[in-house]
Structure 1
């Protein structure tokens, strides 16, 4: 009995109340449950965010309750420290459980995972404890303490939501959540510098608040408080300086900051276009403006709406330099964003004809018939129907690819990899699928509805997802109609295999270490581009240690080894992987790289055999074009072709090698094609024209002739030679190759739009 009393007394001294023990158990139980939830089942960003919210809330409530229970109301720093350490102990069990779960589920990057835990749940618990400490100290433990203690972090939540809704960024920071990462499609995620800076400010704030309250207590007791007051003042001043420069660290970036960082602006009839203020972008500004206005006219014809006229304000278009600058300024390195309710979009623009401009602008065009404050398609007035939101944008965009969305949908159904369309139409089902499948299927379904029943009926259904009211049929009946339409499409085996290659990809929830793998891949690609193959090899070997079957990792590793001069080792690596089960297109992709390495090793005949075998199966157009060009010259054992096509020199050296090759082979249309293509990529239209004219119709291979015609037609367009461009696109629109046929039709529409616009001026 005496022993039990002693234990009880010790527990009481540690403030381990029954409520605290329940909270401790709740954290442990939550970790057990999360061990079976993808993404949350390892020590990483998602689990850190979850326990940041849970731990922060529990720490807030426990601190208020126990400060009142044990009369810790004077603000003594020592009492705060004891409560903070006790609250932090709640995170030990979840961290241990999820770490042990690493024996069952791969946890690829412990350093990053533990860093997220240190920056999110650990700091969240400290922030919750501090919020409660301020409340109980200033209010002397009155019941209002709970309102203030929880009100402060709730106000911070409201501030984050308001910022996300009213400003460009799709990422943000919050006391307990730590860091909101924005789009789930941006899989690569390292510890953000902004999160480190955010938590550094929080640590300064915690020290300042605790020191100030302790100094206040000392003064009230007429005791000296010099060092605590000095500490409070010093940390407050440092915090104030850091807070004033928080946007430079990526915290709470607003529209004005982004506009200033970009620097350039163009105003057109329907747009305010903000773009990087560099010489290259100033040169492209007229084309950027024209592309925006053409897409506006194109979508106005598709939707039959004019959002600028209806809203009385122009669309703000933010165009970023590259993925990294976009990620730093507003989040989403790989995700283009339209904030419909703000009448603005955030994109990357790779040049005239970039379809992502169309996709994001299409979202703006749905505003007049959207519903709710966000002007989106809502499900029962609560959830956002992302299937319809993205489906209508894809249907309007209708990208030119190897397969149309209808053909791709047919292939996915045949291959049994198509998700249930009914689930995609739900409020959450869309996000759980791989983006390629979800966007394509919904785009096909929406385009079928619009082509069959007209855009006006779709507008009626869109706002609230009311298919029965708009079409007089339940959604299941409409899905059945679409399935009947899709299943009537005939495909060949090559098309099915291309579809398998493109669409048979797992979603983020089904990938091993999805965040870490994507980040390592990004870092490896960056290292290779910057001429650091050794760094790329190190990263790629980590990837393969975690997931040995990844084809892309084997191929990137082989390229990096080749960069290091270890060509034979790279060949052996690929030969070993050829023994694995691969789809026909994957095997062709692997053998194509193998051919490059053989050619680089001086075995041109063997390389030609590899390229020839690759072309025996249907492959994506870009790969087919590359293979045809390599096969053309590997068979001839052309030395200069190898130095350009396989060694792939960049910059001036690449053009130098091409021009030397052209001097030796002045009548070779393939050389003219390569020079013209390089000049076309550099937007040197005048210089590209004569080379592409020499290549046009002379390549002898359908895909290469189609590419030469497409490039030459675009060059004529940019040089103001509308009739020549129209003639080329008219001919190309009859191509049996789906991608080039669709591209030609779109460029024909653009040529005629420009002509009509010029006539109406």
Structure 2
């Protein structure tokens, strides 16, 4: 059979020598690429997160496709195969890894397969085409050992892109010409598919086009391969035009969303609150009261961390506080995961504004610790210390201390993440990157936090700072990590397991890690609809909220969160729940049996005038966590509401409370005013609370716990209103009462509020937002 003639329609290709016969040549040139794809995909099969068709596996396949396109595609082009044929063959070959990654469905469910297939189609083909174009250019320039060049260029572009994007820019995403990209933190359950991803893939295709035109121009200028009619000399001007577009795309990388900059972030979060050591960047629509509250929280927690570690950051810390998850995802690629990119030149924190009370103290530890972290990385080589130190110093949140939780974990037995066997072994394991990231988050964070707190308490901050910097425990303490962990374990062995700690530990330590969870990065439709409904409710768009909740319940009739939101939206419209609402509430309570579903059932029964409402609400109270004393108080009060009172509470606009609600439900009314950033109004109500009336009908144990909870709420509301003296008194009384009767972990919360009130009285007037 004679050699196949060149394809005259292939204006960008080249045929330097006659190709082999088509059938034999095609089978030969596609055999090893197919085997490479198959080997990589089969190797991914047993790996959680990677062994299914989604973003992470697409990134791996994209890197392989770049290499396959550059090496095998380049060799085929140099052998005389037309460019159009090479591209078509290699694009068709991408079906193989897609099928192999889909074949894991029987043992690795992929609830987000449609999104995974879309990301595969978006991430992988551009990398393949860039590899083919690079192989063509290397052939045109007669580069020796082109395969090594493809590998070297690929590694340089991949590593350099990551270093440039993440090492010098405030972002958690990186879009790679070689491996497609990383869309955001692995902890985010919902990926951020930003418009910048499309722009970045277009930029990759521009690079491929530029290399193809450059190769054509080189051949036309007398390159290594013979010039043929219609094949050379016409690539120069198109290459220059495409090169100009590339330059423009890099100049506009921030507006296009390919990269992020501090200046762009600060324009988006343009409300600036300068606190001296901290600078808050807030949404311009954030009200002044919210800005003052966030500033107060930030200063107090920052002072605590600096005092405990004995070191002050050398420059002000930028704290970027995002109004919602969508805005945060659009700007930095992270939805709900709070991040502190310690490796960047300036100290900074990125988190949602509504997560500040719960998480800012933790994140500020990372900021301060960067001052004594390892060079360049500004964190610890011992990964467990990075998060362990932050857990050790984070403010009390109502849960038992980490050491109590670890001690309780030993008493659990069964699947407790290894804590039932040897906590010291867990600590030694999570100091390595692989050990930390593959462990359950509850186990890794809590165990390393308890260990770091023990080191601080028994050895002081100086050796801990040295161990953090180097990861070398022997040099810092004169003892190995194993010896220190064993000593810590012996201390824990003598600590009795507290009942409330056992209950929390059972929930915390048995939560699966990302590598154990079914369908990672998939958020069900009913969750998305319910979330949209609550956002609409908060904004006063009741009609849109009702439509969103109806959509959520159509997707999942047992969604208690959607049913609760629907009840509130109905109340704002003055409508009673329908029989279908009662059926759904009963089904959810029977199936789920958690506090929310039981509370919703009680609300529906009460609004419809059906019997059993108080019983369902009491069952919701009993199902709460043992440490949730405030939640039990609120549900016990709710059990006594009348239907009109419940309807009035649910039907109130987000920024107001009806007078009859203030009279019939004074605790709920005060909390609603506080949520609406009306602290003075909230405190005025709280000062008038009548404990005897509010606790009437409670048994003696519930009354004692409820009285302590009322004092804690009073302390918080008084503090928000600026009544720091009253806040200190009520917080100290709450601590005494919780110590006598109630969750012991709330003693630390009450004492923290008392200390905060004392701290506030020693400060100048609160800073102003600017």
Question: C-alpha deviations, 1:71-120, integer Å up to 9, x for none?
Answer: 57xxxxxx222222222344222222222222333222332111111011
Query: Residue 21 of structure 2 aligns with which residue?
Result: 9
Shift of 1:480: 3.3
| Structure 2 SS opposite 1:135 | helix
**Quick one: distance in 1 between partners of 2:134 and 2:549?**
45
**Quick one: distance in 1 between partners of 2:129 and 2:545?**
41
Match of 2:267 among 243, 260, 270: 260
Query: Residue 327 of structure 1 aligns with which residue?
Result: 329
1:515 aligns with 2:521: yes
Shift of 1:409: 2.1
Q: 1:525 to 1:720 in 2, by over 3 A?
A: closer
166-175 vs 216-225, which moves further: 216-225
Query: Residue 318 of structure 1 aligns with which residue?
Result: 320
CA contact (8 A) 1:23 1:58 kept: yes
Query: Residue 642 of structure 1 aligns with which residue?
Result: 646
CA contact (8 A) 1:611 1:627 kept: no
Query: Residue 541 of structure 2 aligns with which residue?
Result: none
Shift of 1:471: 3.5
The 5 Å alignment of 1:677-688 reads 677-688=671-682
Match of 1:693 among 687, 690, 713: 687
CA contact (8 A) 2:169 2:259 kept: no
1:632 aligns with 2:637: yes
Shift of 1:412: 2.6
Instruction: Please identify which structure carries the higher helix content.
Output: 1
1:483 aligns with 2:489: yes
| Structure 2 SS opposite 1:399 | coil
1:442 aligns with 2:448: yes
Shift of 1:241: 5.7
Question: C-alpha deviations, 1:176-212, integer Å up to 9, x for none?
Answer: 2212133221121264432223223333443455356
CA contact (8 A) 2:62 2:123 kept: yes
| Structure 2 SS opposite 1:180 | coil
| Structure 1 SS opposite 2:684 | helix
| Structure 2 SS opposite 1:680 | helix
Question: C-alpha deviations, 1:636-691, integer Å up to 9, x for none?
Answer: 6x12222145x465425xx35x32334xxx4x5xx222222111122222222210
The 5 Å alignment of 1:93-242 reads 93-137=96-140, 139-143=141-145, 146-147=148-149, 150-151=152-153, 154-189=156-191, 191-207=193-209, 209-210=211-212, 213-214=215-216, 223=230
**Quick one: distance in 2 between partners of 1:533 and 1:509?**
36
1:82 aligns with 2:85: yes
1:428 aligns with 2:434: yes
Match of 1:599 among 606, 628, 632: 606
The 5 Å alignment of 1:266-665 reads 266-278=273-285, 280=287, 282-308=288-314, 313-341=315-343, 342-348=345-351, 350=353, 354-378=357-381, 385-416=382-413, 417-419=416-418, 420-491=426-497, 493=499, 495-517=501-523, 521-522=527-528, 524-527=530-533, 529-530=535-536, 531=544, 554-556=559-561, 558-559=563-564, 568-569=579-580, 571-573=582-584, 575-576=586-587, 587-603=594-610, 605-616=611-622, 619=625, 621-622=627-628, 625-626=630-631, 628-635=633-640, 638-645=642-649, 647=650, 649-652=652-655, 655-656=656-657, 658-662=658-662
**Quick one: distance in 1 between partners of 2:58 and 2:396?**
38
CA contact (8 A) 1:508 1:514 kept: yes
| Structure 2 SS opposite 1:509 | coil
| Structure 2 SS opposite 1:54 | helix
- Count of residue correspondences: 710
CA contact (8 A) 2:194 2:330 kept: no
| Structure 2 SS opposite 1:179 | coil
Question: C-alpha deviations, 1:495-544, integer Å up to 9, x for none?
Answer: 53343234431111111111123687345422454345665666677689
| Structure 1 SS opposite 2:762 | helix
Q: 1:491 to 1:541 in 2, by over 3 A?
A: farther
**Quick one: distance in 1 between partners of 2:509 and 2:597?**
18
Query: Residue 58 of structure 2 aligns with which residue?
Result: 48
Structure 1 residues without counterparts, runs of 5 or longer = 73-78, 379-384, 545-552
**Quick one: distance in 2 between partners of 1:288 and 1:617?**
32
| Structure 2 SS opposite 1:316 | strand
**Quick one: distance in 2 between partners of 1:482 and 1:567?**
58
Query: Residue 15 of structure 2 aligns with which residue?
Result: none
Question: C-alpha deviations, 1:117-149, integer Å up to 9, x for none?
Answer: 101122211121122223322x13544685377
CA contact (8 A) 2:467 2:475 kept: yes
Query: Residue 247 of structure 1 aligns with which residue?
Result: 254
Q: 1:131 to 1:704 in 2, by over 3 A?
A: farther
Q: 1:328 to 1:264 in 2, by over 3 A?
A: same
TM-score between both structures, scaled by the size of structure 2:
0.82
CA contact (8 A) 1:288 1:351 kept: no
Question: C-alpha deviations, 1:414-462, integer Å up to 9, x for none?
Answer: 2231443332222211112332332222211211221122222322332
TM-score between both structures, scaled by the size of structure 1:
0.83
CA contact (8 A) 2:617 2:638 kept: no
Shift of 1:362: 0.9
Query: Residue 381 of structure 1 aligns with which residue?
Result: none
Q: 1:702 to 1:438 in 2, by over 3 A?
A: farther
Question: C-alpha deviations, 1:444-502, integer Å up to 9, x for none?
Answer: 12112211222223223322333333334433343333334334444455553343234
**Quick one: distance in 2 between partners of 1:424 and 1:474?**
15
1:22 aligns with 2:32: yes
